Amino acid sequence: MIIPGNRPKLIATDLDGTIVAHYGEISERTLAAFKKAHEMGIEIFFVTGRPPRWMAEIREAFGFGNAICANGAMHYDLMNARVIEEWLIPVENQIEIVQVLRQHIQGINFAIEFEGQFHREKNYIANWDIGVDNVGVDHIEELATQPAFKMMARCSKNEFTSDQMLEIAQSEISHLATVTHSAPEDSIIEISAIGVSKGATLEKLAARAGFTAKDCVSFGDNPNDFSMLQWADRSWAMADGHPDGAKYSKFIAEPLKADGVAKVIEALLELPA
């Protein structure tokens, strides 16, 4: 594998679908590659759509690293399990987002996250937070009473694909929020405050550490990763990820099951400092 440039100073990677399998496993080769990079003084950023409450297993698996959670809405202290900084959706935007999307996407239902809590409408069928909110409310507006770090919207009967929902939402609410998704096979979109994305927050935190896009590499598999794939001078979309990944990345990594990210990192570590 021939990679141009010098050894990176910062490695930013998505988690699920990129280095974490859908059943939660992280390969030994992946763990070893990141550990060696960390020991060589390279900053590691886990950049994910996950909320902080899903990060304990990552902390336990790696034992080091920084984190950007909720698609860029949170700078998270992974090792001490605390939110350092967050960028939230104002209440008035939440209300308008819901009103507008109800008009344009048939069968849409909403969930909302703030202060570590997950709340949903009764018709919002959760795939990942099953049991967190067993009651639900009739209308999410009942709970949109404080700034939120993330909103989710899904068509529980799969009336639209995630890509279709994303296209509609970007057309209708881009003046209110940033919209993306991380599940092409589903019927769900993820909503953040306007201007908030994985790439924007990564760029901000890298700059604070004195790094530029030239110093950083990034890895990802889905639309919520595209902003950081586009920002870093060297970036890899997963071969088994969303088909549009190649439009935003500079390179393609082998699939997750083939330890694609680990193989790239191993090659990066052979470059001169």
Mean pLDDT value of segment 69-97: 98
Q: Which residues contact 213 (CB under 8 A, 6 or more apart)?
A: 203, 206, 231, 232, 233
Output the pLDDT for position 132.
64
pLDDT tens for each residue of 156-173: 887 899 999 999 999 999
Position 221 in a domain: yes
Mean pLDDT check: name the lowest of 126-135, 248-257, 259-268.
126-135
Domain that holds residue 120: 91-193
Task: Classify each residue of 149-173 as buried b or exposed e, where b means 16 or more C-beta atoms within 10 Å of its C-beta.
Answer: bbbbbbbeeeebbbbebbebbeebb
pLDDT tens for each residue of 41-74: 999 999 999 999 999 999 999 999 999 999 999 9
pLDDT tens for each residue of 93-142: 999 999 999 999 999 999 999 998 999 999 998 876 655 666 789 999 99
DSSP-derived pairing of the beta strands 216-220 and 10-13: parallel
Mean pLDDT value of segment 249-272: 98
Output the pLDDT for position 130.
52
DSSP 14: -
**96 in the same domain as 179:** yes
Position 139 in a domain: yes
Mean pLDDT value of segment 31-48: 98
Output the pLDDT for position 133.
64
Question: What is the pLDDT confidence band of residue 219, given thresholds at 50, 70 and 90?
Answer: very high
pLDDT tens for each residue of 164-208: 999 999 999 999 999 999 999 899 999 999 999 999 999 999 999
Position 35 in a domain: yes
| Residue 251: count of CB within 10 angstroms of its CB | 16
**202 in the same domain as 261:** yes
Identify the residue whose tokens are 């992280």: 26
The CA–CA distances, whole Å, from 260 to 1, 34, 183, 241, 251 equal: 11, 13, 20, 12, 11
Output the pLDDT for position 157.
83
Q: Report how far residue 235's alpha carbon sits from residue 253's, in angstroms, rounded to the nearest whole number.
A: 9
Position 1 in a domain: no
DSSP-derived pairing of the beta strands 177-180 and 188-193: antiparallel
Mean pLDDT value of segment 137-161: 94
**96 in the same domain as 182:** yes
What are the backbone angles phi and psi of residue 58, rounded to the nearest 5°?
-70, -45
Of 193, 214, 229, which residue constitutes the final position of a domain?
Answer: 193
Residue 230 pLDDT more than 70? yes
Identify the residue whose tokens are 């060589």: 40
Average pLDDT of the chain is 95
Q: Provide the 3-class DSSP secondary structure of residue 177.
A: strand
Q: Is 239 exposed, middle or buried (0-12, 13-18, 19+ CB in 10 A)?
A: middle
Residue 1 pLDDT more than 90? no
Which pair of structure tokens corresponds to residue 264?
Answer: 């790239």
For the chain, give the percent of residues with pLDDT over 90. Answer: 91
Q: Report how far residue 35's alpha carbon sits from residue 33's, in angstroms, rounded to the nearest whole number.
A: 5
CATH of the domain at 220: 3.40.50.1000
Cβ pair 70, 85 in contact under 8 A: no
